[in-house]
Amino acid sequence: MTKRLISRFATFACGLLLSFGALAAAGGPLEQAGTDIGDRASLQRGAQLYMNYCAGCHSLKFMRYSRMAEDLGLTEDEVMNNLNLTGAAFGEHIISSMPAQQSAQWFGQAPPDLSLITRVRGSDWVFTYLKSFYLDETRPLGWNNTLFANASMPNPLWEMQGLQRPVHGEVDETGEPTVAHLELGTPGSQDAQQFDQTVRDITTFLEYVGEPAALKRQKLGVWVLLFLTVLTLLAWLLKQEYWRDVEH
């Protein structure tokens, strides 16, 4: 009985490991996003970038402008003048102004809501995805992506990143050439390091949107540790006090 359970568990664990392996291998290795949601400046830059380059297509339906203002340390005026580009009220959710049906026609796929994207795909995936666009004239919009093959999203950040071209490797089993790696054909307005930071800021912002409570939890954690330290000190002093009587 126990043996059978163990062997079943082992089969299950192997299956899990294999499928994780297959998932990771599907789009090549992921780069480390290096995000830190405690970095308020990065969060604020990420929010600005998101609203300018992503919110036209992608909603954040679980996030309100007012909550974002409070968590990111922004005033209502700052949010309404710089970050709210749709004319929505301060208390409303961040909804893209693009009609879903039409966008499905334009792109072949409606842009999904990104509220939970870093929890579904992981931050490293989002970071790598945003850096992996390349020119491909066989695709309807002229863009492809090495991590997410045939994604129907055009590269929104190309002016900053520049235009990446594929360097083809061997032919795969269907006779198509594979992409060995990408090279920067035309440089953009940012160098590689600056662009990494831009993508990291957007990913940090999306990580916060996926779990807004994490910000508060991080801050609370410091107080909890401080409290425990003081408590330990008091307990130690009390112990000294008791033992003094015992020793004499």
* Contact residues: ligand HEC, CB under 6 A: 53-54, 56-58, 107, 109, 111-112, 114, 117, 121, 126, 129-130, 151-154, 156-157, 202
Buried b (16+ CB within 10 A) or exposed e, 9-38: eeeeeeeeeeeeeeeeeebeebbebebebe
Q: Minimum distance from CB of 110 to ligand HEC (Å)?
A: 7
Q: Minimum distance from CB of 49 to ligand HEC (Å)?
A: 7
Residue 47 and residue 85 in contact, taking contact as beta carbons nearer than 8 Å: no
**Cα–Cα distance, 61 to 39 (Å, whole number):** 24
The dihedral region occupied by 28, where left means phi > 0, alpha psi between -120 and 50, and beta the remainder, is left
Q: Minimum distance from CB of 234 to ligand HEC (Å)?
A: 49
Residue 72 and residue 40 in contact, taking contact as beta carbons nearer than 8 Å: yes
Q: Minimum distance from CB of 100 to ligand HEC (Å)?
A: 10
**Cα–Cα distance, 109 to 57 (Å, whole number):** 11
